[in-house]
Amino acid sequence: MAFLELKDVCVQFGGEKTGLIGLSRTPVVKAVNHVSLSLQKGEILGLVGESGCGKSTLSRTIMQLQKPTSGSIWLEGVDLSALSSKEMRKRRLDFQMVFQDPYASLNPRFTVYQTLAEAISTRKKPKSKEEMRQWVIDLMDQVGLNPMMMNKYPHEFSGGQRQRVAIARALAPEPKLIIADEPVSALDVSIQSQILNLLSDLVKNFNLTMIFISHDLGVVHYIADRIAIMQSGSIVEYGDAEEVFTSPQNDYTRSLLDSVVEL
């Protein structure tokens, strides 16, 4: 049984009735078009495609922030769309997201300690303030941040450091699945490889499963076990990372390879 399985998932927008008597409809946009994928425990799936191809919509659908128009998403043999709101809130701790812009995704009024303590408390409750402080220290150590910086605010960190804070926040609820949506595209090339290595190490050390989303096939090849190429809402190529990178079968994949920058 696959750890995560998408079965013929479609997401459409539009089609609502308009006008005084509702005779016309807004145009239908197929953001995700019959996508089927499976992911085993401990794997990193690279999802690649240009802006507007449906990658982020698909990630929000997996996170259950966007309901699929049709199809289903199964996590550890459970159909997520069949869960009640209460059951979904409990299950949501099992999958977390790392966003492209850590500055926008972090609360500017929270220190690193407050951000991580809040995330940790969603899964477990400390017996004392000192125990929570130790949990935050351990979490910062795991992502390569100096615990002495826990009382600083997001604006006091560099872009790479902020992304490490965002990764630590995603790890705090002890998830099983992490979706990383363009997590290095806003960073300097010199910092990108550091974050990629960190994510790869965390997947191995914590037995995580990851979907890594990017428009850059070279970045995805660096970290992923398997690669899915997305174009206009559909998966046009899917397979082992090395095979997709060295022997692409689709013209669109070949065009993405032409723009690769080696890290």
Beta-ladder partners of 181? 213
pLDDT mean over 69-79? 94
Domains of the chain: total: 1
Residue 112 pLDDT: 97
Asked, for residue 180, whether it belongs to a domain, the answer is yes
Distances (CA, A) of 166 to 55, 191, 193, 206, 229: 20, 15, 17, 17, 26
> Residue 28 has which token pair?
């239908």
Q: Give the model's confidence band at 103: pLDDT under 50 very low, under 70 low, under 90 confident, else very high.
A: confident
Asked, for residue 24, whether it belongs to a domain, the answer is no
Residue-wise pLDDT tens digits, 178-231: 999 999 987 888 889 999 999 999 999 999 999 999 988 888 999 999 999 999
Asked, for residue 235, whether it belongs to a domain, the answer is yes
For residue 215, the enclosing domain spans: 42-66+83-257
Query: Rounded to two decimals, what is the model's pTM?
Result: 0.90
Q: Is 257 left (phi over 0), alpha (psi -120 to 50) or beta?
A: alpha
Asked, for residue 21, whether it belongs to a domain, the answer is no
Amino acid 162 reads: R
Residue 23 or residue 215, greater confidence: 215
Q: Is the pLDDT of residue 129 over 70?
A: yes
Asked, for residue 78, whether it belongs to a domain, the answer is no
Residue-wise pLDDT tens digits, 134-192: 999 999 999 999 999 999 999 999 989 999 999 999 999 999 999 999 999 878 888 89
Asked, for residue 242, whether it belongs to a domain, the answer is yes
Asked, for residue 35, whether it belongs to a domain, the answer is no
Q: The domain spanning residue 129 has which CATH number?
A: 3.40.50.300
Q: Give the model's confidence band at 62: pLDDT under 50 very low, under 70 low, under 90 confident, else very high.
A: very high
Asked, for residue 37, whether it belongs to a domain, the answer is no
Q: Is the pLDDT of residue 263 over 50?
A: no
Q: Is the pLDDT of residue 90 over 90?
A: no
